[in-house]
Each structure stands twice: as structure tokens, then as C-alpha cells.
Amino acid sequence: MRTSNEDSFAADPERRLFLVADGMGGHAAGEVASSIAAATVKEVMGITPPPGGEIEDMLLLAARESNDRIYEAQRKRADLSGMGSTLTIMSFADTSYYIAHVGDSRAYLLRGGVLEQLTRDHSLVWHLFESGVLRKDELSSHPQKNLITRSIGPHPQVEIDLECGQAREGDTYLLCSDGLTDVLSDEVIRQMLSQPDMSPQQLGDSLVSAANRMGGPDNITVVVVRLMSGE
């Protein structure tokens, strides 16, 4: 339904780099913030990621540099004041996946027919969910669902979540902005991702189409990654 797109993404299998960023701020500020975040991550991660734990340092560096650049940009221009972005970055090294995450965009893993959310939302409603006040299926209808507790850019320092785990042949990973998860339940997402005959591109297209059929009130961005045989 929106006339502008404040989401940005990257999907670079060769560099094993995947990200989603959902910008926020007045006028075009959200689009600027997410664009800065995506461009910065691609610049910092512009070489083939090193093996082992070093990739975690690169992901942290990329996220922190994104925060620095967005923060400086909004300090220098009054029309960009207060802008920020979510940022969910995924990369792979050896037989592991690595995620750096800030905000309420999400990373999921579909393995063996089971969908697992790999990231925590940094939002008021997620805090209420973890406290047992809300059920997960109540988050998207809560009047304060858009209140983010952590994002890239508004402050000079930011806390970044790091996640890692074993990657397996046949895994399907999904990175997405809340334009998808606010209108599609985890169960619907699981069913749609569990289509072995569809390519990652087709899966992504089908998820966006399904979210639009539910009204598409927000920008919808998805990145789908499938680990094929021998990769």
C-alpha cells in the first residue's frame, strides 16, 4: 500500500552475504538509512569472508560501521534527524551460519519441515511476548507493534546480537522485514517455504505475493537462501 520503499537488501551467493534492512524516519529518511546500512555492509564484507570465528568480527564491524555512518548522516542533516534502520545480516563459513542482528526484521531456518526463528525482535511487543504477557500470534495486532527498542543509526553506540549454528545441506533460510511477518503467520511461512520444487526466487516471489494479498500495509522484503548439495 505504500508509495515508497524504505527496505533494502543484499543477496550475493558468491560472497555468501545476505541482508535485509528496514528503514525508519520522516519523509525519505528511512530509505536513506536502510540504503546506507546495506551499502556499508556490502563494502565491509566486500571480500570473501574468512573461515572460522573471524567472520563474526567482520559482521560486527559491518554493523557498527553502518551505525556510525547513519548516525553521522542524521547529525549533519536536520531532515534526516532520528532516522534509523533494522539490520539482519547472514553469512556462511565452513559448515556454519552466522547472523548479526538489530531491530525487528527476522531470520528463519526451515529444516526437516520445522521452521525456527533464529533472531529475537528488538521491540516492545517481543518483550511482552517473552514476559508471557502476549502470545506470538498477538504481536502483529498490538497497537504498539511498531515500537522498536533497538535499531541502527539513532545513537552513537548500538548493541548487536550475534547468532551462529551448524548449517546443513537442504537448509532453507529466510531473511525478511516485518512487512511479511506482520501479515503472514509462522505456520503459513513454513508451509510456503516447504515447496521443494520451487526455486529460492520463486519462494520469495510467492511470499511477497501472499503478503500483498493480505493487504500489504508495509514494505515487504524477503531473501531466501537454500543450501544445495555440495555447497
Q: Each residue of 128-145: pLDDT tens digit?
A: 877 888 888 877 777 777
Q: Is the pLDDT of residue 205 over 80?
A: yes
pLDDT of 54 reads 86
Query: Nine-digit cell at 77?
Result: 542533516
Round to whole Å and give the CA distance between 122 and 120. 6
Kindly give, in sequence order, each residue whose CB lies less than 8 Å from that of residue 102, ignoring residues fewer than 6 positions away.
63, 86, 87, 88, 122, 150, 151, 152, 158, 159, 160, 161
Phi, psi of 194 (to 5 degrees): -85, 50
Q: Is the pLDDT of residue 49 over 80?
A: no
Interval 71-89 mean pLDDT: 92
Cα–Cα distance between 18 and 15 in angstroms, integer? 9
Tens-digit pLDDT profile for residues 154-184: 999 999 999 999 999 999 999 999 999 999 9
Facing residues of 175 across strands? 107, 223
Amino acid letter for position 50:
P
Name the H helices within the chain: 29-44, 54-76, 124-130, 178-181, 186-193, 200-213
Q: Is the pLDDT of residue 115 over 90?
A: yes
Contact indicator for 175, 18 with CB cutoff of 8 Å: yes
Grid coordinates of 73? 548522516
Residue 51 has pLDDT above 60, yes or no: no
Q: What is the mean pLDDT of residues 18-24?
A: 96
Count CA within 13 A, CB hemisphere, residue 21: 35
Q: What percent of the chain has pLDDT over 70?
A: 94
pTM: 0.91
Q: Which domains does the chain have, with CATH numbers?
A: 7-226 (3.60.40.10)
Measure the CA–CA gap between 89 and 105, rounded to whole angstroms.
10
Backbone torsions φ then ψ of 66, nearest 5 degrees: -60, -45
Mind listing the pLDDT tens digit for each residue in 52-70?
558 999 999 999 999 999 9
79, 29 Cβ separation under 8 angstroms: yes
**Chain-wide mean pLDDT for the chain?**
91
pLDDT, residue 112, reads 94
The region of weakest confidence among 18-32, 59-73, 109-123, 207-221 is 18-32
**Per-residue pLDDT, 123:** 83
